[in-house]
């Protein structure tokens, strides 16, 4: 097997591992678990993201009609008091409802079940935070995702090419830069606008870590592309950019993302 093929396989493996890691660790991943009540295992899924067009609704299957529950919620980063509401029952299901918020608005909530003897069962150790967002068209979201992970694939492959002193350093670096630019600076702002009604909230205009990560990675690859044009001076920059890209992609997606700080728009 050719060395180039082996390096592509290694790059694909690293990229796929990153995709899986992002999928499992991001703050938008639902919180799943189970509790045993009266000898029956009750499974649940608590949402951490939802669209703004309607309340977030979750169903917990609890056939035992003697089991009830309540939700405690308040807007995240607010001076609100906790609201406590009973869970409605629809047949075998207890219904958890979190009121919709504007784009980037967050709610923290906790759910408690109670059996017919008064025993309480908390479904989470700490309040769950759910963020609301606008609907994002798949025609925008899919190209964004594909280009960003293709950018990581080419970034990893370019790093390998630099380590092993290959002959395609410049072309791989160029493709990496183009892919990250397209995914992060073309489709990225479109996703941000549709989801949170802002084009860009990262550095240098804000503190959104997702946008800032994109800008940071792109700066490294533009520098690597420039240095790779100079004979014998590009390897270090490309390897550094590849390592930085991998490190950035290991930060869970949407951490420190867009959010409304209600404390700045309401009095205590």
In 3D, which of 196, 174, 176 has the Cα closest to residue 184?
A: 176
Report the percentage of the chain scoring pLDDT > 70. 94
CA distance 85 to 72: 7
Please tell me the total count of domains within the chain: 2
pLDDT at 227 over 90: no
- In terms of average pLDDT, the best of 47-61, 222-236, 251-265 is 47-61
C-alpha separations of 37 from 92, 93, 110 in Å: 14, 14, 18
Task: Tell me the CB-side half-sphere exposure of residue 156, using CA atoms within 13 A.
Answer: 22
- Residue 256: predicted pLDDT: 60
Question: What's 69's domain CATH number?
Answer: 2.60.40.2440
CA distance 235 to 246: 17
Tell me the mean pLDDT in the region 118-145. 93
pLDDT at 268 over 60: no
Same domain, 71 and 175: no
Same domain, 93 and 220: no
- Residue 165: predicted pLDDT: 84
Same domain, 10 and 87: no
Same domain, 247 and 143: yes
Six token digits for residue 121:
């069962």
Angle formed at CA 29 by CA 24 and CA 30, multiple of 5 degrees: 125
pLDDT at 242 over 60: yes
- Residue 137: predicted pLDDT: 92
Same domain, 48 and 72: yes
Domain membership of residue 217 as a residue range = 3-26+136-262
Taking only the tens place, the pLDDT of each residue in 156-198 is: 999 999 998 888 889 999 999 999 999 999 998 999 899 888 8
Tell me the mean pLDDT in the region 78-94. 94
CB 176 within 8 A of CB 154: yes
Same domain, 143 and 258: yes
pLDDT band at 221 (very low <50, low <70, confident <90, very high): very high
Decide which of 70, 102, 133 is a domain's last residue. 133
- What is the pLDDT of the chain when averaged over all its residues? 89
Decide which of 76, 102, 133 is a domain's last residue. 133
CA distance 142 to 175: 19
- Residue 203: predicted pLDDT: 72
Same domain, 124 and 156: no
pLDDT band at 266 (very low <50, low <70, confident <90, very high): low
The separation between the first and the last C-alpha atoms of the chain, rounded to the nearest angstrom, is: 67
Which residues are within 8 A (CB) of 116 and not within 5 positions of it... i.e. 6 or more apart?
64, 66, 67
């Amino acid at each position: 097997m050719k060395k180039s093929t082996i390096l592509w396989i290694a790059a694909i493996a690293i990229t796929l591992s990153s995709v899986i890691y992002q999928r499992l660790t991001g703050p938008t991943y639902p919180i799943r678990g189970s509790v045993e009540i009266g000898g029956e295992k009750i499974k649940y899924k608590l949402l951490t993201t939802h669209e703004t067009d309607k309340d977030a609704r979750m169903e917990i299957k609890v056939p035992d009609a003697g089991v009830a529950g309540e939700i405690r919620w308040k807007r995240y980063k607010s001076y609100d008091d906790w609201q406590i509401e009973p869970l409605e029952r629809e047949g075998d299901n207890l219904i958890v409802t979190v009121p919709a918020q504007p784009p980037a608005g967050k709610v923290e909530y906790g759910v408690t079940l109670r059996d017919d003897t008064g025993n309480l069962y908390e479904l989470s150790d700490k309040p769950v935070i759910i963020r609301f967002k606008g609907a994002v068209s798949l025609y925008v979201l899919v190209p964004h995702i594909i280009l960003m992970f293709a950018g990581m694939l080419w970034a990893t492959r370019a790093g390998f090419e630099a380590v092993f002193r290959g002959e395609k350093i410049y072309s791989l670096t160029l493709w990496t830069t183009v892919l990250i630019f397209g995914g992060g600076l073309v489709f990225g702002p479109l996703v941000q606008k549709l989801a949170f009604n802002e084009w860009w909230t990262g550095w240098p205009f804000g503190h959104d870590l997702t946008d800032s990560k994109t800008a940071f990675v792109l700066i490294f690859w533009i520098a690597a592309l420039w240095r790779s044009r100079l004979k014998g001076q590009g390897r270090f920059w490309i390897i550094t950019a590849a390592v930085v890209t991998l490190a950035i992609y290991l930060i869970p997606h949407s951490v420190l993302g867009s959010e409304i700080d209600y404390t700045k728009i309401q009095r205590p």
